[in-house]
Amino acid sequence: MVFIGGPRQVGKTTLARSILRTHFSSGRYFNWDLDEHRMDLLKKRWKSDDKLLVFDEIHKFPRWKQWVKGIYDVRGDQHTILITGSARLDVYRKGGDSLMGRYHYWRLHPFTLDELPDSITPEEGLDRLMALGGFPEPFLGGDEKEARRWRRERFDRVIREDIRDLEGIRDLQTLGLLLDLLRERVGSTIVISNIADDLQVAHKTVKSWLHALERMYLIFIVRPFVRSSPRSVLKPPKIYFFDNGDVVGDKGAHFENLVASSLLKRLHFLEDSQGDRYELHYIRDKEGREVDFAVIRDGELEELIEAKYSDENISRGLSHYTRKLRPKRASQIVTTVKESYDVENIRVLNPLEYFHQPPWTNGSPSATPAFFLDN
């Protein structure tokens, strides 16, 4: 089986139906939210020669894991099964191991510079990602007013449905204030005790709320890179948003968040497709030398990355840690750079060039992710 998880409204249903339509000769799509589909699901009403069965939002069925396990164990040789869901699916998936060894999990992200519709140029794509974010509806619509309305409605649904139901958080108003604070502090270190004082809640409460927001795919946490992992937990993290449109601040903050979310998407794809463990960190020392992002693969440093909206001068922190840590690659991404160049083993280039080649193509623009081809 294949599970597709990710944020609300990122396009999981659209993707699943496209896979069914274009990669399989026969199959059936079921949406748990539709009464007739739900009845057919519970009664197992589909054809024996349906090559693909798509179960959308099936995790809303309280006994879904045992039910799916039974379908797979009895009929797994007849059908390929694709299951989609939002943050609820990810939470419930981690709640037990009854499905262990029976599925692969893939995470779906919003649009990024390395995944744009053919009708949108890279330059226009960058402008839209900066202003509207990469979620399909506001990104493709191209209307800032509609994008703001869509974003507010998405926030309300995630907070009032997912977080309330799954996390048991009742103080939703203060949680909303926490989100507002985080939106203004993208790229800055977050001192939890200071935020707790601002909100007048306990330190432990803010910490648990941050983890809840991360599980709901609203934010993701980037921790410092240190050789001893327990120390990274004690040092202050940075917070970024899955939706670049959620950021409140100048173009520098929007651009850093865009680079962060694009890098996370790449690392998730490499993890899900290849099985290697990837981590995204930042580096900061007592002398104030800082590198925005450090990509770690199976515990080893792969790349150092600095994101600058317009400053082409080599970052002091990037220069220092490139010499000290000797990563395989070091990059400074700047929107104003026209032609890339190298300085002190650091490649300075614009984001269109850096994110030009998607990791899933392996050099071929027409390559198809493996789980399509396996079927």
- Classify the phi-psi angles of 345: left when phi > 0, otherwise alpha if psi is within -120 to 50, otherwise beta: left
pLDDT for res 363: 46
Counting residues of the chain whose pLDDT is more than 90, the rounded percentage is: 73
**Exposed, middle or buried by CB within 10 Å (0-12, 13-18, 19+), for 186?**
buried
pLDDT for res 92: 57
Cβ atoms of 194 and 201 closer than 8 Å: no
What b-and-e string marks burial along 125-155, b requiring 16 or more CB atoms within 10 Å of the CB?
bbebbbbbbbbebbbeeeeeeebeebbeebb
pLDDT for res 158: 86
Q: At what angle do helices 144-157 and 122-132 cross, to 10 degrees?
A: 50
10 with 63, same domain? yes
- Cβ contacts of residue 76 below 8 Å, gap of 6+? 1, 102
In a domain, 117, yes or no: no
Q: Look at 35-44, 138-147, 168-177, 280-289 and tell me which has the smallest mean pLDDT.
A: 168-177
pLDDT for res 291: 97
Cβ atoms of 282 and 238 closer than 8 Å: yes
299 with 347, same domain? yes
In a domain, 55, yes or no: yes
Cβ atoms of 178 and 198 closer than 8 Å: no
DSSP H/E element including 305: strand 300-308
Calculate the CA 273 to chain-centre distance: 15
Does 250 have pLDDT greater than 90?
yes
265 with 321, same domain? yes
pLDDT for res 173: 86
**pLDDT-derived band at 361, boundaries 50, 70, 90:** low
145 with 208, same domain? yes
Model pLDDT for residues 66-115, shown as the tens digit of each residue: 899 999 999 888 999 999 987 667 655 555 556 778 889 999 999 999 99
Does 374 have pLDDT greater than 50?
no
Could you tell me the pTM of the whole model? 0.90
251 with 325, same domain? yes
pLDDT for res 107: 92
237 DSSP 8-state letter: P
In a domain, 342, yes or no: yes
Task: Give the end of a domain, one of 108, 143, 174.
Answer: 108
In a domain, 317, yes or no: yes
172 with 231, same domain? yes
84 with 220, same domain? no
Model pLDDT for residues 310-357, shown as the tens digit of each residue: 999 999 999 999 999 999 999 999 999 999 999 999 999 999 999 987
What CATH number does the domain containing 63 carry?
3.40.50.300
Distance CA 291, CA 354 (A): 17
Does 191 have pLDDT greater than 90?
yes
Q: Which domain holds residue 49?
A: 2-108
pLDDT for res 76: 85
At which residue do the structure tokens 């609820």 appear? Answer: 88
Distance CA 297, CA 271 (A): 10
245 DSSP 8-state letter: G
253 with 304, same domain? yes
- What does the mean pLDDT of the chain come to? 89
DSSP H/E element including 223: strand 219-224
216 with 328, same domain? yes
Model pLDDT for residues 45-60, shown as the tens digit of each residue: 999 999 999 999 888 8
Q: How many domains does the chain have?
A: 2
**pLDDT-derived band at 234, boundaries 50, 70, 90:** low
Distance CA 172, CA 160 (A): 7
348 with 224, same domain? yes
227 with 274, same domain? yes
Distance CA 155, CA 176 (A): 9
The residues facing 4 across adjacent strands are: 84, 106
Average pLDDT of 121-141?
96
Q: Look at 13-27, 100-114, 131-145, 351-365 and tell me which has the smallest mean pLDDT.
A: 351-365
pLDDT for res 369: 46
Task: Give the end of a domain, one of 62, 78, 108.
Answer: 108
Task: Give the end of a domain, one of 79, 108, 137.
Answer: 108
Parallel, antiparallel or unpaired: strands 329-334 and 300-308: parallel
In a domain, 375, yes or no: no
Calculate the CA 45 to chain-centre distance: 34
In a domain, 10, yes or no: yes
Cβ atoms of 221 and 214 closer than 8 Å: yes
pLDDT for res 172: 85
Does 119 have pLDDT greater than 70?
yes
Using CA atoms, how far residue 13 sits from 7, 16, 67, 108, in Å, is 12, 5, 21, 11
Average pLDDT of 277-297?
95
Distance CA 116, CA 231 (A): 39
Which amino acid makes up residue 196? A
Which amino acid makes up residue 225? F
- 3-state percent breakdown (helix, strand, coil) of the chain, nearest 5: 45, 20, 35
221 with 133, same domain? yes
In a domain, 339, yes or no: yes
**pLDDT-derived band at 368, boundaries 50, 70, 90:** very low
In a domain, 113, yes or no: no
Residue 71: count other Cβ atoms within 10 Å of its Cβ: 18
* CA R_g for the chain: 22
Distance CA 312, CA 259 (A): 16
